Amino acid sequence: MGRYLLWWLTIALTIAGVGLGMVWPQWWWGAAIGAVLATIGTVDVLQKRSTLRRNYPLLAHFRYGLESIGPEMRQYFIEGDTAEVPFSRQQRALVYQRSKSVSDVRPFGSQHSVYAVDFEWINHSLRPLHLEEHDFRVEVGPDCAQPYSASVFNISGMSFGALSANAILALNAGAKAGGFCHDTGEGSISRHHRVHGGDLVWQIGSGYFGCRNASGLFDPKRFAANAQDPQVRMIELKLSQGAKPGKGGLLPGTKVTREIAEARGVLEGVDCISPSHHSAFDTPVGLLEFIARLRELSGGKPTGFKLAIGHPWEWFGIAKAMLETGIVPDFIVVDGAEGGTGAAPAEFIDHVGVPMHEGLMLVHNTLVGIGLRNRVRIAAAGRVVSAFDIARTLAMGADWCNSGRGFMFSLGCIQALSCHNDQCPTGVATQDPARWKQLDVADKALRVQRYHENTLRALRDLVSAAGLSHPAEICPEHILRRVSPTQISSLSALYRFLQPGELLDGEPEHAVFRTFWATARSDSFAPPGRVGVRWR
């Protein structure tokens, strides 16, 4: 039978090689190769775990080999330049070009189909401005004792442990040189974050790494000791993240090195657990009281929280708690379900959580509707890599943008999709010293800084072309989207924007507010009574 032919041929080669080797010694090589292949084929036939290998000895291994390099084959030889899976070759090339300060000019027109549904653009003005400055800033926590002037483009939360030591060193050195901030991720502040002195946003997750006691609970003294470090400019409490909202994490003890244990305040070689929810509070009011406590313990630094939007009534409960307590976070980071720099279960990465655009719109509209938008800054993260991505996101209600994977590309990430198996080929997302030590910190730090600077220069040019003087002036009317081959709408027409105080004055027309706002509770994250009743 044909499916056994290759195996039989290797057996024949082995026998022939032995016979011919008696006369011509060079044939012993043929016999050795044949024997190895024949042995593999024999094992395939005798084993019982894989039917494919029993039915197709040797041949099945070609299938496995091709399958293992399938993503690379598609990425480099099959997929188009604009296919976003998750980032297109064109998007990656743009980051590489800007991080190296080489020309990003393209010839012969756009490769995008400008008549395809969902194509977007920014309208220009017949009276464009000429702007010299590109270092656009946002004042965060103006009423705090230590307010912070943040760039409109910053490094999103990526922990040491998920990223390598040299990757963290390069990111922070680039942030220092470029004058923008570097979010630590929930893995806390490592020794590598401190070397170059770049501005840090210290992210506090449910594991309270860097500020926990022996039982894993929040320790105010340890928090204050880290938070009052001048390098820490803002405090970010992470409620959930885009890659796996609603799910905790486990770093196996085998991966908890001395440096990771030191940064997180856990035991070396022991499983490091991130619970799925916080232990320091269990209600919306409790969350805001905890935010106020963190702000006080930090010495008055801007303090906020990060979340991926899920159940709308839970977010509405937080908003109502702001009104009832008078405690307002200085900023909120909205993470989209399309985000995620590491790895997550398939269902979570594909089907859990609200995408960034809708999550951002909900948070922005809610704050406008309760009259607090001018007191709370909003950041957004989720596939933001270009100046247009930033412009669109600001038009939808954000004050600044964070990017994780964009800055990973600036470090040399090639989207090998090996973030989860410690085999990152570029030394970015691995703890294997044989790999990460090859990442040159000085060179990559310069690329991080250049990527940031050249992206903001491009943003300046977009703002200038629109006749504006600052990205904060970009409005929903400036961004257009094709909704059919013959219809175009601005974001202002596509999305329902609430008026200031609208939620205080009555019931809005927006469906999600009409359904859940009135019954949301500030004293509980529990769903309204009618939610969860399948039969009536």
Question: pLDDT by residue (tens digit) across 198-241?
Answer: 999 999 999 999 999 989 999 999 999 999 999 999 999 999 88
| Contact status, residue 336 vs residue 243, Cβ threshold 8 Å | no
Q: What is the pLDDT of residue 469?
A: 96
- Cα 243 to chain centroid distance, Å, stands at 7
Contacts of residue 67, Cβ cutoff 8 Å, sequence gap at least 6:
none
Q: What is the pLDDT of residue 206?
A: 93
Region 426-439: mean pLDDT is: 88
Q: What is the pLDDT of residue 84?
A: 63
Kindly give the residue spans of alpha helices, DSSP state H, lying in 89-242: 89-99, 165-178, 191-194, 220-227
| Contact status, residue 455 vs residue 107, Cβ threshold 8 Å | no
Highest mean pLDDT among 241-245, 346-350, 480-484: 480-484
479 forms beta bridges with 122
Q: Which residue has the higher pLDDT, 509 or 289?
A: 289
What's the pTM?
0.87
* DSSP letters for 306-338: EE----HHHHHHHHHHHHHH----SEEEEE-TT
Q: What is the pLDDT of residue 28?
A: 83
SS3 353: coil
Q: What is the pLDDT of residue 1?
A: 63
Per DSSP bridges, beta strands 137-140 and 148-151 are antiparallel
Q: What is the pLDDT of residue 5?
A: 87
Q: What is the pLDDT of residue 416?
A: 77
Three-class secondary structure assignment of 233-261: EEEEEECCCCCCCCCCEEECHHHCCHHHH
Strands annotated E in 79-224:
120-122, 137-140, 148-151, 153-155, 182-183, 200-204
| Contact status, residue 239 vs residue 278, Cβ threshold 8 Å | yes
φ, ψ for residue 233 (rounded to 5)?
-105, -25
Q: What is the pLDDT of residue 69?
A: 64
- pLDDT surpasses 80 at 458: yes
- pLDDT surpasses 60 at 491: yes
Taking only the tens place, the pLDDT of each residue in 35-61 is 999 999 999 889 877 777 888 898 888
As a whole number of angstroms, the distance between CA 381 and CA 401 comes to: 6
- pLDDT surpasses 90 at 274: no
- pLDDT surpasses 80 at 148: yes
Tokens 């933001």 identify what position? 384
**Would you place residue 291 in the very low, low, confident or very high pLDDT band (cuts 50, 70, 90)?**
very high
As a whole number of angstroms, the distance between CA 179 and CA 11 comes to: 66
Least confident of 66-80, 83-97, 131-145: 66-80
- Using CB atoms within 10 Å of the CB of residue 224, give its burial: 0 to 12 exposed, 13 to 18 middle, 19+ buried: middle
- pLDDT surpasses 60 at 533: no
Helix axes 356-369, 312-325, angle to 10 degrees: 30
**Average model confidence (pLDDT) for the chain?**
90
As a whole number of angstroms, the distance between CA 448 and CA 183 comes to: 14
Q: Which residue has the higher pLDDT, 491 or 533?
A: 491
- pLDDT surpasses 80 at 65: no
* DSSP letters for 27-87: HHHHHHHHHHHHHHHHHHHH-SS-HHHHHSTTHHHHHHHHHHTHHHHIIIIIS-TT--SSS
Contacts of residue 262, Cβ cutoff 8 Å, sequence gap at least 6:
190, 191
As a whole number of angstroms, the distance between CA 88 and CA 320 comes to: 40
- Whether residue 86 is preceded by a cis peptide bond, meaning omega within 30 degrees of 0, is yes
Q: Which residue has the higher pLDDT, 350 or 311?
A: 311
- pLDDT surpasses 70 at 135: yes
Q: What is the pLDDT of residue 68?
A: 64
Q: What is the Cα Rg of the chain in Å?
A: 27
Locate 18 and state its tokens. Answer: 């032995």
Region 352-361: mean pLDDT is: 92
- pLDDT surpasses 90 at 369: yes
Q: What is the pLDDT of residue 162?
A: 87
